[in-house]
Amino acid sequence: MKRRHFLALWSMLFVAPSWAKKPFLVTPSQAEGPFYPVKPIPLRANLILHEQGLAGEPIELSGRVLDERGHPLSGIRVEIWQCDGEGIYDHPQQPNHQVFDRHFAGCGAAVTKNNGEYRFRTIRPVPYGRRPPHIHVKLWRGVDELLTTQLYLEGQTGNERWGGRERQHLQFKVVKQRDVQIGEFDFVLTA
């Protein structure tokens, strides 16, 4: 009996407790894409410049930036960029970029708060060519690039081709709450 207790105690010392395991899956990286803005992305959480005449549906995109254990990370710069409601990027290499919707900024950045939260007002992503609706994202800590990825609108045809194996971990859903469309996505970074 004593030996059994000794072995049980001994094994507890060398087996990681369940609370010490990494419960959060790290957000996969993806390609930056060809249309990263040529000018520095300004701190601007509201990408909708004028609602009247806007080509696209406004949404609020929010979430948190966490480490692998679920602790919030503050001071992380979250950049987003996407095409307008007609599928055109505000980039000189984009064909027809001169007709980009001037009611929409196309890109912006926010810095996470103490609770790791970020928030944007943007438009619901639309398809770009054959690509499914997506938003490009880049996360920074100071001058260190931490993550470049893309977020895909859940349930869209083409996600299985463009999102790769990690697509299920890069999808977000948009739901309507009190006449506002809301999308949420939490980023998890390696410590």
Q: Residue 81: which CATH number?
A: 2.60.130.10
Cα dist. 119→18, 51, 58 in Å? 32, 18, 13
Summary mean pLDDT of the chain: 88
Please indicate, yes or no, if residue 18 is contained in any of the structural domains. no
Mean pLDDT, to the nearest integer, of 6-20? 46
Most confident of 10-14, 33-37, 61-65: 61-65
Which pLDDT belongs to residue 26?
95
Q: How confident is the model over 38-67, as pLDDT tens digits?
A: 999 999 999 999 999 999 999 999 999 999
Please indicate, yes or no, if residue 183 is contained in any of the structural domains. yes
Q: Are 172 and 159 in contact (CB under 8 A)?
A: no
Please indicate, yes or no, if residue 22 is contained in any of the structural domains. no
Q: What percent of the chain has pLDDT over 70?
A: 85
- CA-nearest of 165, 190, 151 to 68 is 190
Please indicate, yes or no, if residue 4 is contained in any of the structural domains. no
- CA-nearest of 49, 52, 59 to 179 is 59
pLDDT at residue 18 tops 50: no
Please indicate, yes or no, if residue 25 is contained in any of the structural domains. no
> Structural domain of residue 113, as residue ranges?
57-189
Q: Dihedral sign for Cα 109, 35, 59, 139, please.
A: negative
The secondary element (H helix, E strand) that includes residue 162 is: helix 159-162
Q: How confident is the model over 102-147, as pLDDT tens digits?
A: 999 999 999 999 999 999 999 999 999 888 999 999 999 999 999 9
Please indicate, yes or no, if residue 5 is contained in any of the structural domains. no
Q: Are 183 and 60 in contact (CB under 8 A)?
A: yes
**Tally of domains within the chain:** 1
Q: What percent of the chain has pLDDT over 90?
A: 73
Mean pLDDT, to the nearest integer, of 71-95? 96
pLDDT at residue 8 tops 60: no
Confidence of residue 24 (pLDDT cuts 50, 70, 90): confident
Please indicate, yes or no, if residue 164 is contained in any of the structural domains. yes
Please indicate, yes or no, if residue 17 is contained in any of the structural domains. no
